Structure 1
Amino acid sequence: MTRREQILTTAEQVFGNRKLAEDWFTKPAIGLGRCLPCMLLESKEGFTELADFLIRLDYGVY
């Protein structure tokens, strides 16, 4: 599974459906310094930041 697919699968679980996950993935995210989540996948650190962010969202800890 690619990094993109891993993040989208997790985002789908957090947001409730694939469309919302894909919309989030391509728009600036306040909790990520207004960066586009899709752009953060370019590095291992960015991938980790995205995964951590989604876990925090899921648990309501921003």
Structure 2
Amino acid sequence: MRHREQILTTAQQVFGNPERAQAWLIKQAIGLSQRLQFMLLNTDQGYMEVADFLVRLDYGVN
């Protein structure tokens, strides 16, 4: 749960509101090999991948 809360907080900053952050969390991401973000949060490695992806999105890096 800790990872999910941390990612949601960061996603809210990136996307501007909680609704967009929540919607993003349950969609497949091309930058994450079409994997679902919320499924990746079950491991530390997956959390790091999602966190890195959010930083790249925030800075406009693909």
TM class by smaller structure = over 0.9
Cα deviation digits, residues 4-46 of structure 1 (max 9, x gap): 0000000010011100000010111111111110000111100
Structure 1: runs of 5 or more not aligned? none
Where 2:27 maps in the other structure, the secondary structure is coil
RMSD: 1.1
Structure 2: runs of 5 or more not aligned? none
* Structure 2: distance between partners of 1:27 and 1:61: 19
Q: Identical aligned pairs, as a percentage?
A: 60
Normalized per residue, the structure richer in strand is 2
TM-score, normalization by structure 1 = 0.94
Structure 1 segments (4+ residues) deviating >4 Å: none
Within 5 Å, give how 1:41-52 maps onto structure 2: 41-52=41-52
Aligned positions, number: 62
* Structure 2: distance between partners of 1:29 and 1:22: 13
